[in-house]
């Protein structure tokens, strides 16, 4: 039987406010456990929450970016459940009336086609703390308790793990372009829960879904979804679907590459949602709304502009605008005089290919201005493209000027006509038989003369100048 996959995603994005959502404790990462806490985030009796206005502004910005409805009035609710890292015994979240609803995100396929993915809602809530397990002993760190989150819930519109990853990458880019979250997956600032189900091809019914919790890398998200689809499909084919595929929360074991049951999935009634009596409804004034809808250029708009303004290919523009750091790096290279076409190649292929081990475009030892100058030295004939790769390797290890690196490595192209003519004349004089063969019609020998000239100049001769002079001397 052929199955259709149905995927919906819930993303928890940590907002990059300086303080928590309901108190003034800092949101800094990696501090000593239980040092960024107060009466409010510890859930002490009588402590009252006060809403962080910046978190509201950032939620409005996202709503604007995804063409959603921003509700001028929204309500905070208490979501009741017991867990050691939830000191109050409930989480403050939004249920009936979220701040953002009915939005959309378009994903882009390599063949140039697009697909619309609906965004059901995005609501504000507080994060829980963190449980740390050491053997039989568990510790609780409440530094993260009260950190502001936006939970962004998609429609079940994705039909493959590939579509899910494309959606997540686009959402990740939007958050970074808006500068409302660092979306750092390693630090837990961008976490995803995947709801996965299958149905017979052509069926429109939604069947039992399994929720895979707390996935924090695009690679693991794809692997977890693929495994879950295989598990559910096999259960259906074996006639045990109703027994083995139940509504539950599952975890993905990255070592065994499989999902496993964690607990039965709660429904909203079990959380006993009710409006938080300590927090008034959120009323967004006209002035705040007008201020927050002024958002920067987003990935899709920037990509389209790069294609029309710089004449680069749509595929290259997609690669360059996939992250805000890449896009800024590219634009800085253009500002410093490098051509768009060569900037694309030297940024997305040469520089990117040399990064790794935790080094990113943002922390690259070669900055945009330096790479732009290297490209300009290729374009003005100072060095060859091949030599430029050696220079870039050197610059990755040594903080020096581009011209100094070229000088140190002795890679400056020889363009002096007198010196090149002397080399060419010597080669012609030493290879009279081959000159005769060339003049008799054996034109393939031209490459021999070029090779000899490059060899004699130790690879520093300007190839186009060598070609030009050789043609003049051999005819």
End-to-end CA distance of the chain: 72
Q: What is the pLDDT at residue 417?
A: 63
For residue 277, count other CB atoms closer than 10 A to its CB. Answer: 7
List of the chain residues with pLDDT < 50 = none
Cα gap 325→364, rounded to integer Å: 11
Residue 164's nearest CA partner among 155, 177, 174 is 155
Q: What is the pLDDT at residue 76?
A: 96
Q: What is the pLDDT at residue 387?
A: 86
pLDDT in tens, 286-305: 999 999 989 999 999 999 99
Cα gap 37→42, rounded to integer Å: 6
Which residues have C-beta within 8 Å of that of residue 126, sequence separation ≥ 6?
20, 21, 22, 91, 92, 93, 145, 146, 147, 148, 149
Q: What is the pTM of this model?
A: 0.85
Q: What is the pLDDT at residue 455?
A: 75
**DSSP H helical ranges for 201-284:** 218-237, 241-244
Cα gap 171→51, rounded to integer Å: 25
Domains and CATH numbers, the chain: 3-292 (no CATH), 299-409 (no CATH), 417-474 (1.10.10.410)
Q: What is the pLDDT at residue 36?
A: 95
pLDDT in tens, 240-267: 888 888 888 888 888 888 888 887 666 6
- 84: Cα separation from own chain's centroid: 33
Residue 219 burial (C-beta neighbours within 10 Å; 0-12, 13-18, 19+) = exposed
| DSSP codes joined into one string, 409-423 | HT---B--HHHHHHH
């Amino acid at each position: 039987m052929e199955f259709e996959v149905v995927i919906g995603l819930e993303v928890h994005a940590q907002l990059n406010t300086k303080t928590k959502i309901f108190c003034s404790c800092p949101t800094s990462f990696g501090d000593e456990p239980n040092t960024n806490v107060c009466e409010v985030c510890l859930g002490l009796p009588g402590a009252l929450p006060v809403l962080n206005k910046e978190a509201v502004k950032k939620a409005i910005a996202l709503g604007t970016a995804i063409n959603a409805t921003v509700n001028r009035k929204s309500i905070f609710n208490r979501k009741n459940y017991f867990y050691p890292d939830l000191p109050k015994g409930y989480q403050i979240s939004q249920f009936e009336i979220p701040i953002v609803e009915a939005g959309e995100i378009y994903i882009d396929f390599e063949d140039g086609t697009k697909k619309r993915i609906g965004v059901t809602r995005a609501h504000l809530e507080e994060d829980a703390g963190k449980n740390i397990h050491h053997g039989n002993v568990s510790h609780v760190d409440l530094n993260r308790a009260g950190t502001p989150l936006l939970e962004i819930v998609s429609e079940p519109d994705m039909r493959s793990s590939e579509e899910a990853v494309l959606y997540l990458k686009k959402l990740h880019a939007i958050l970074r372009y808006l500068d409302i979250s660092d979306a750092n997956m390693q630090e837990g600032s961008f976490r995803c829960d995947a709801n996965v189900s299958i149905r017979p091809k052509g069926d429109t019914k939604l069947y039992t879904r399994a929720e895979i919790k707390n996935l924090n890398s695009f690679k693991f998200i794809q692997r977890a979804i693929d495994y879950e689809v295989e598990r559910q499909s096999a259960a259906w084919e074996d006639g045990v679907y109703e027994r083995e595929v139940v509504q539950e929360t599952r975890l993905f074991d990255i070592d065994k590459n499989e999902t496993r049951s964690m607990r039965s999935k709660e429904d909203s009634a079990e959380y006993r949602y009710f409006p938080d009596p300590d927090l008034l409804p959120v009323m967004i004034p006209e002035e705040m709304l007008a201020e927050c809808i002024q958002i920067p250029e987003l990935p899709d708009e920037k990509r389209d502009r790069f294609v029309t303004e710089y004449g680069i290919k749509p595929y290259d523009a997609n690669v360059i605008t996939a992250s805000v750091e890449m896009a800024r790096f590219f634009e800085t290279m253009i500002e410093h005089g490098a051509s768009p076409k060569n900037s694309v190649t030297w940024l997305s292929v040469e520089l990117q290919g040399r990064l790794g081990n935790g080094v990113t475009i943002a922390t690259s030892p070669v900055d945009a201005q330096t790479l732009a100058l290297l490209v300009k030295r290729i374009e003005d004939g100072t060095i060859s493209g091949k030599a430029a790769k050696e220079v870039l390797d050197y610059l990755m290890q040594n903080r020096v000027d581009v011209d100094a690196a070229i000088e140190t490595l002795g890679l400056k192209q020889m363009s002096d006509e007198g010196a090149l003519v002397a080399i060419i004349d010597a080669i012609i004089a030493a290879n009279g038989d081959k000159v005769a063969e060339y003049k008799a019609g054996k034109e393939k020998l031209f490459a021999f003369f070029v090779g000899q000239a490059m060899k004699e100049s130790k690879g520093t001769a300007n190839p186009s100048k060598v070609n030009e002079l050789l043609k003049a001397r051999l005819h």
